[in-house]
Each structure stands twice: as C-alpha cells, then as structure tokens.
Amino acid sequence: MVAHGAQRGPDGGRGRASVKTPAMILGIPIDRVTMDEAVTEIERLVQLGRRRSTTHQVVTVNVDFVVNAVGDDDLMRILQFADLDLADGMPLVWAAGRIGEPIAERVTGADLVPALAERSARTGLHIHLFGSADGIAERACALLIERHPGARITADSGPMITDPRSPGDDVVERLAAVDADVVCVALGNPKQEHFIAAIRAHLGAPVMIGVGGTLDMLVGVRKRAPAWMQKFGLEWIFRALQEPRRLGKRYAKDIFVFGPRLLMFLVRARTVARRAVPGRIPGLSGTHEVVDLAGVECLALDDLGVLAARRRTTRQDGGSLLVEHVGEWLRAQLRSCGLDDLLTAGATSTPQ
C-alpha cells in the first residue's frame, strides 16, 4: 500500500478539531463527535471558510434523512459529501455501536442551535436563522438572545421557496448581505439540504446547517419529547401523536424502508469484516495523494471511514485524493459509499 505525492496541508494539520474517523453507516459517513466537539469543528470550518472564501455544509442525519436519500441520488451525494454529518437519530447511534465504531452521544439540530448560541455569547460567532413559518425565526432569535446574553444572532423567516434547487438570485443576495458565520436553514429535509447545496458556492457564508423543525421547537410551536423518550429513540412516537396527519405516513415509510435496510447493512458489515483486512489504508496526511489498492479485495468499514475523512480534509485544504488499481468488487463497495469519485482512470485494471 503506497500513498504517492504526499504533501503536508497548508496548516500542517494544526488547528483541526479532534474529529474521529466517521462511522460508515448505509454509505453515509456519520461523524463520531460529542456536542462540544461538533460546535468546535463548526468554529474551525467558519475560520477555514473565512480564510478560503468557501462554504461548508453540515447535516443533522436522522432516519428520515436516510429514507429520503434512498430514492434521491442527489440527496445521498449531499450527505456523503457534507463537511460534517451529525447523528441526529438514535438508530444511527445504535448502528455505529453494532459495527464497533461507537458514537459518544446523539447530536440533534434541536440541541445544536442553542449550543451554537451559547458559544456565540462567548466568542462572537454570528449566527443567522433562516426559514420556517412567518415570524418563527425572529421569535427564536429573540428567545436565544434572552437565554444567552451577548450572542450575535439575526433572523429572517424568508420568502416562500418553491424550488430549493433554484431559489433565485434575490434569496442568495438576501442571505449574502447578512454576512453571517453560520446560517441555520429551517426548511425541512430534503428541501433545506438541496437549498444549501444549490447556493453554497454563491453565498460566501462559511457554514450552512439544515436544522429542520428546530426553530418551531424552540418557540414552542411544536413540543419536544421528554428526555427519556429521546434516550430510547421514541421521539418519533411523540411527534407522530402531535401531528398524526402530517407525520403518520412519513414515519410508517421510515420504519418499512429503514428497518430492512439497516438489518441488511449490519449483515453485510459482518461479511465485510470477515473478508477485509483492517488497516489497509495508510496514515494519510498530505494534500495530494494517490493510494494504490492493488490486491485489496474489499475494505473494512473503518478503512472506508478513513477514505471518507481524508477526501473531506483534502478537499477543504484545496488538495485531492485518488485511489488506483481497484477491482470490481471493491469498486462496487466504493460506489455504495459515494467514494467512486476517488477512482483514477486505471481503477479497474486489477481483476478480482
């Protein structure tokens, strides 16, 4: 196993938050971070975005996100290419534990926004709340500032966005004028993820996060489940009882789609664990790298996580990561995890 052309990144790896290799669950790299680590990583992305004039996308992944991504290739790629994938759903936390890559705690959008507001009161981080029903963002803003005096928070419920993939120049200009460090978009999944992906290259805000119904919960329009229900992954029942017409069909679909897929994933994970030899990806630390995978039948999940993490960091540092001499079985494995963009022209030259 050889990594060619390795060079140190512009910051030599310094200043990067202590983010563990993500757990690869159903092809999505779920970051194994605590709430405090997530906020620290977001602050790092803000600094990086200001320095490089780039926008980083953060997603709070729950079961509904995964189910929506099953029938939406664009959404799946957004989740696979995000700069930070947080485990918003308990089933993802449980799955990570089952494959031996435990996640310390669930990091929900409903908890992340107040945590960012608390950090803002200490550091001056500028947070902008965008979306939700008319007046909700403004009410949430006032509530957060009241709870965290000194926090820099602005808000705009925004116009009705009918096509998130093409929201219009006026919306982009409206958000760009705020010049926020972190924009929290409350349009619901998958609308908010497509919206962020569509405008991130034109906006200039260092970090954008889809926060779903977080603002509604903050102001009390929707109640949040008791802590014990959250702990045991039963929050969906509480929400379904509040809004049976709107959420009943959605949660039924989540159960019947996600359950079998998760079971199949865990079974396949055991098969991969038997066939793969862990540690086949070298310790990568450069800006431009090519990894030779000749003779590798398949990669262990933790090695796939290493590749996903390194693709992310090399991209953030303006570099590149490629793999070569990949057989058909491994090629399919990389494709299922959204890592097929790493394949070089000679990727399939090694028969399996």
Q: Where are the domains of the chain?
A: 1-16+280-352, 31-262
The pLDDT of residue 8: 32
Q: Which residues, including other chains, have CB under 8 Å from residue 141's CB and lie 6 or more apart?
A: 129, 153, 154, 155
The pLDDT of residue 186: 96
Task: Using alpha carbons, list the distances in angstroms from residue 80 to 75, 193, 299.
Answer: 9, 12, 17
**What is the C-alpha end-to-end distance of the chain, expressed in Å?**
17
Q: Answer yes or no: are the C-beta atoms of 349 and 325 closer than 8 Å.
A: yes
The pLDDT of residue 19: 54
- CA 258, CA 191: separation in Å to the nearest integer? 20
267, containing H or E segment: helix 244-275
**Which class in CATH covers the domain with range 1-16+280-352?**
alpha beta
The pLDDT of residue 59: 97
Identity at 321, one-letter amino acid code: L
Rg over CA atoms, the chain: 20
The pLDDT of residue 182: 98
The pLDDT of residue 164: 93
The pLDDT of residue 319: 87
The pLDDT of residue 221: 80
Q: Record the pTM.
A: 0.87
Q: Which residues of the chain have pLDDT under 70?
A: 1-19, 225, 238, 240, 247, 283-286, 345-352
- CA 17, CA 300: separation in Å to the nearest integer? 25
113, containing H or E segment: helix 109-123
